[in-house]
Structure 1
Amino acid sequence: SKNIFGINNCLIGEKLVNLAKEDKNIVAITAAMCDGTGLSKFKKQFPERFFDVGIAEQHALGLAAGMAKNGMIPVVPIYSSFYQRGYDQVVHDICLQNLPVIMCVDRAGIVGNDGETHQGILDLAFFSIVPYLTILAPKDFKELEQMLEFAVDLKKPVVIRYPRGGEGKVKFESHKAIKLGESETLKEGKDLTIVGIGKMVSRALEVSDLLEEYGISCDVINARFLKPFDKKPILESINKTNKVITIEDGILRGGLATTVKELIVENNIKDINIKSYGYNDTFVKHGSVEELENIYGLDANSIVESIKKEICIQEKIMR
């Protein structure tokens, strides 16, 4: 069945099977979405380590906490919009006790034909305020696999969010090792800082490539972690360029946009041009990913036109 990044949702299941072969403490939990979250292979390979609790996300997460308390490493793939149902268990059962539960947030961002109720745009915001929680989002398949390995080793509450739909247009050549709270600088420039997270890192590079045609060179930073957030390289870049944009596939308040703006305020940085691209205080209607990104101005061309009007040095564009 089609799902994660659009190849098929076997990717996460296959990686979990491989990790579970190496670590007997890894278990998988689903809330009646075995196929939908890619756990079919895990269920077949490790039936005694696979638990389907039915349509009960709250119980899935409470069970995960209990298992983690007893030395297991539960992996719990649930759709972003359904994690809302288990928020109390995330806060009290898992994070308050600082337990090693790996929360895989499937269908994060825009989900296309699943419809308005399934749009996964709130998760970065509602997870970001929870103490003890580490939050990651991969730029592509390979980085997702790296993040799963990292999460197993971390032995603390972790969120890994990933979209439905294909990898971005830009293919990544390099994959830096995942270290706690470390971002990745993908491109260096002098005129503009672009910070992206998750699937929108590919969009950030698309935007950067288009801006180069106007003589505008960019630092492009893959945040990788929303929490803990890698402040130093982003601050250094902003101090160099004095202009920053953020790109995310979620609600702006509480997500990457808020995190970068807080960083600027906390460090008393003045005279900064900043613009954030995401979903601004709205519920996103039904439609394909491409249609909706065009409507909300998140396609590469719309972002570039906005930057040219609102952010960048006019004389460079006029040349």
Structure 2
Amino acid sequence: MTALDAWTPDGLRRLDPEELPGTAARMRELLVRSVSANGGHLGSNLGVVELTIALHRVFRSPDDVILWDTGHQAYVHKMVTGRAGAFGSLRALDGLSGYPSRAESPHDWVENSHAGTSLSYAAGLATAFAARPAGRRRRVVSVTGDGSLTTGMALEALNDIGDRGLDVTIVLNDNARSYAPTTGALARHLREFEAGVAPGVFEALGIRYLGPVDGHDASALEKVLADARAERGPLLVHVRTRKGHGYRPAAEDRTEHMHGVGPFDAATGRQYALPPGRVPAGSVLGPALVELADADPDLVVITPAMGGPSGLDVFQERHPGRFHDVGIAEQHAAGLAAGLAMAGRRPVLSIHSSFLNRAQDQLLFDIGLHRLPVVVVIDRAGITGGDGASHHGLGDLALLRQIPGMAIATPSTAAELRGLLKAAVRHPGPVAIRHGKAIDDSGPPGDGGDGDADMTAWPVEPAPGGVLVIGAGDLLACATEVAARLRAAGVPAGPANARWIEPLDERLPALAAEHRLVAVIEDHWSRGGLGSAVRERLADEDVATPVRVFAVPHDYLPHGSVPELRAACGLTPERITADLLARWTAQSAGAPRPRG
């Protein structure tokens, strides 16, 4: 039997115990080799190799349901359910997803990738199974990280599971970290378990506690999981794992244990640099906030466990008393920001785009309704690449634009990000600043448009009688190139930098009326974004100039590289220019230019 042949649930169960360490080592080698090529989540998966093997040797997936929360720790689960041979395609276009995928395997139940969701899925499945006629008992297992337990949804589900005595096994993968060390009282409580203190919080909820057990001791894991499988009712198996276990560069990375990485050198763990002229947005955001905080003692920063990925470590080091990591708790983070603002502080809430919707109620009613001066800095906006559907930041503008009084900015360069931050912290109401994971740092280091004279003014190169090409954020460069290509083809065209989306530049109706065609290019869904805002404004002002919007189709976008996915959406200068030239030609052959 070859190694890959053995990497199925049945194959794993046929292995002798002495074969398991070698199998685990080969799985770690495949993890490092694949993630070094395509990027992904490494540290957490290195930590769950023995746990995954034990789960599939004890439980009978897919008849027994194994749910992975948050899903980024399911790489080894994919390997042992028949997908090891395809693992080189991980996160690549048309390859394996970096999260559980129902389209890939019956062993993947949910396509989850946001923390804290699996316990609610588990409650629903267990409730449904219990209502079926008596037969073979199906187990529901939720593998949940200690960081996920800081989410309100997870705590709501625990309360329900314990109250109703549901037949759910919760495997608590406790590596003491989200990205950074797990924060909060519950995390401290988990540390006390090791000291022999009674695990009161789970027992109080009606959930039996087993453990803690060493997550890298295969025999101990199998024994405790077998005991759990034989019992009925809700119980929690507390498993202690070490993030990055078995790969020295990950184990020695004290910041994140190589949690989420881009392509890297497998021999050294060194990540490859970004293309010239591009820098991580966090490398701009963190120092900019430090500078602002040095000048304003009321400025505070809040993160829901994303301080490192958002570049906020430098702020935490400089102003530790004004940095609040609340764990994976986006709703609380936004509510906390509201309370701080009510007390006269100037809160900056840093949050990833795909997690922003979790705090929508708080943004709408706790911050927006009170017109509070909270700055929401939204990281990972737009098409993000290999993490796939649940991590693309494609709906944030639609959420934010519905909040009355919310100003929304989208910088295209590092200088603009710094300038827009300066404007935002002076604004008397809520402001959102949307940017991608990386940002252009090749431009001049000028003020970036901090808006002293007019906060909402756009830099515009008008081309009266021609095409006004509006771009924003990462796609401003595309808009500028499209305008240049149109001019080279003999069509008057000029770019506009929509660095403020709410409110729009007050000159927009007049500008649009001077042009024969308006094009909007954006890294957002086709509904609810900048294009929708432009169309609505022009319609309100009775401006008849046609508007062509180039955006991401309103559907869930798969995983792949950013250039590949933009090309698949038609968001390339070549495709957009060809479309606009065809429209210009058709318009020129038809009715005269519309006037506003």
Cα-to-partner distance string for 1:173-202 (whole Å, 9 max, x where unaligned): 974442332222145454111111222222
Higher Cα radius of gyration: 2
Q: What residue in structure 1 maps to residue 399 of structure 2?
A: 126
1:28 matched to 2:301? The reply is yes
Deviation at 1:269, TM superposition (A): 2.7
Q: What residue in structure 1 maps to residue 372 of structure 2?
A: 99
Contact (CA 8 Å) 1:75, 1:103: kept in 2 or not?
yes
Q: In the TM superposition, what are the counterparts of 1:10-159 in structure 2 within 5 Å? A: 10-159=283-432
Report % sequence identity: 34
Find 1:210's aligned residue among 459, 469, 485. Answer: 485
Deviation at 1:212, TM superposition (A): 1.5
Cα-to-partner distance string for 1:146-176 (whole Å, 9 max, x where unaligned): 00000111131110000123429x8469744
Q: What residue in structure 1 maps to residue 237 of structure 2?
A: none
Check 1:309–1:55 CA distance in 2 against 1; reply closer, same or farther (3 A cut): same
Q: In the TM superposition, what are the counterparts of 1:179-190 in structure 2 within 5 Å? A: 179-186=454-461, 188=463, 190=465
Deviation at 1:133, TM superposition (A): 0.7
d(CA) in 1 for partners of 2:424, 2:449? 16
- Residue-pair matches, total: 312
Check 1:112–1:17 CA distance in 2 against 1; reply closer, same or farther (3 A cut): same
Give secondary structure in 1 for the equivalent of 2:440: coil
Q: Which amino acid aligns with 1:292?
A: L
Contact (CA 8 Å) 1:180, 1:228: kept in 2 or not?
no
Greater shift, 187-196 or 138-147, is seen at 187-196
Q: What residue in structure 1 maps to residue 279 of structure 2?
A: 7
Give secondary structure in 1 for the equivalent of 2:306: coil
Contact (CA 8 Å) 1:186, 1:220: kept in 2 or not?
yes
Any unmatched runs of 5+ in structure 1?
Answer: none
d(CA) in 2 for partners of 1:189, 1:293? 29
Deviation at 1:59, TM superposition (A): 0.7
1:239 matched to 2:513? The reply is yes
Check 1:50–1:290 CA distance in 2 against 1; reply closer, same or farther (3 A cut): same
d(CA) in 1 for partners of 2:562, 2:480? 19
Contact (CA 8 Å) 2:470, 2:520: kept in 1 or not?
yes
TM-score, structure 2 length as denominator? 0.50
TM-score, structure 1 length as denominator? 0.91
d(CA) in 2 for partners of 1:155, 1:268? 31
Find 2:524's aligned residue among 245, 250, 261. Answer: 250
Greater shift, 306-315 or 207-216, is seen at 306-315
Greater shift, 109-118 or 47-56, is seen at 109-118
Contact (CA 8 Å) 2:470, 2:521: kept in 1 or not?
yes
Cα-to-partner distance string for 1:40-59 (whole Å, 9 max, x where unaligned): 00001111111110010111
Q: What residue in structure 2 maps to residue 259 of structure 1?
A: 533
Give secondary structure in 2 for the equivalent of 1:221: strand
d(CA) in 2 for partners of 1:285, 1:76? 28
Contact (CA 8 Å) 2:382, 2:524: kept in 1 or not?
yes
Give secondary structure in 1 for the equivalent of 2:307: coil
Q: What residue in structure 2 maps to residue 269 of structure 1?
A: 543
Structure 1 vs Structure 2 CA RMSD: 2.2
Q: Which amino acid aligns with 2:329?
A: A
1:197 matched to 2:469? The reply is no
Check 1:160–1:258 CA distance in 2 against 1; reply closer, same or farther (3 A cut): same
Deviation at 1:114, TM superposition (A): 2.5
Deviation at 1:219, TM superposition (A): 2.6
| Structure showing greater relative contact order (alpha-carbon pairs closer than 8 Å, 6 or more residues apart) | 1
d(CA) in 1 for partners of 2:347, 2:449? 26
